[in-house]
Structure formats: structure tokens, C-alpha cells
Amino acid sequence: MFLKLKNMSEEKFKNLSDLFGSHPKIEENPKSIKKKEETFFTILLEQLCRIEAAGAVLNTVGINVDKYENPFYQSIKMLLQKHYGEIKTEIILWWVFDSITPEGDIYPLIDEKEERHILRTTQQLWKFLKRYNGK
């Protein structure tokens, strides 16, 4: 029985190589790549928001973790700049750390054309950054 299954498996792989050739070039769908980029961005920003919220809670009870957190934030900022560029990184960091008022409302992001953008979610920020050309 095992020999029969093994032969069937080898036959299927032989048929695939007949179909695609011995060294097929497989490329990921561009739509799939874009979705992975957006998912990565969303997870990263949600994590940064959690870290910021935890730091804010600790500060309210008198525990200052700035000396501990700052090197990590600097490292994250450098990585973001490498990936998204300086201007988009500044927008991302503003959104994570400074876009919420003390009352819990959202400050608008005002672009160079004086247009106001209310970015409540990571998806809204992602779409804004994709459209934004940095001029």
C-alpha cells in the first residue's frame, strides 16, 4: 500500500514538472503582495498603539518609562524611515502618538493644500499614505 501511494505521489510530481517544466518561475500575485503589506502595516501600528497606551497608563500612576522606551522608539522610527520615508514616518508617528485629543477626539491631519483628514483607523491611515505623494 505504501509503495503504491509513493508511486502515485511521484507520478503527480512528475506530471507537475511536465506541466510547468523542471524549474518553473512562480510569482506572487501583486494583489496578494499589497494585501500583505497592508496587513503588516496594520499589525505594526496596532502594536505601537498598544505600547503607547501602556506607557500612558504607567505615566498616570507615576511610573516613568521614557528612559527605557526611547531607544526602542528610536529604533522603530529608523526602521519606519527606511521603509516609508521621512515624511510618511512623521505622519505615522504623529498618528500613533499625537492624533488623539485629551478628550478622546481625533485631531485632523492637515496637508499642504490645507485639506483636513480625519484618520480614525489604521486602514484610513494606510489609504491616506498610499495616496499621499509627500509634496
pLDDT reading at 2 higher than 60: no
pLDDT in tens, 64-110: 888 888 899 999 999 999 999 999 999 999 999 999 998 999 999 99
pTM: 0.76
Helix H or strand E encompassing 109: strand 109-110
Q: 28 with 105: CB under 8 angstroms?
A: no
Q: Across residues 36-42, what is the average pLDDT?
A: 95
Q: Across residues 5-34, what is the average pLDDT?
A: 70
Q: Across residues 16-41, what is the average pLDDT?
A: 82
DSSP of the chain, one letter per residue? -HHHHHHHHHHHHHHHHHHH-SS------HHHHHHHHHHHHHHHHHHHHHHHHHHHHHHHTT---HHHHHHHHHHHHHHHHHHH-HHHHHHHHHHHHHSB-TTS-BPPEE-TT--EE---SHHHHHHHHHH----
- Distance from C-alpha of 60 to C-alpha of 76, rounded to nearest angstrom: 24
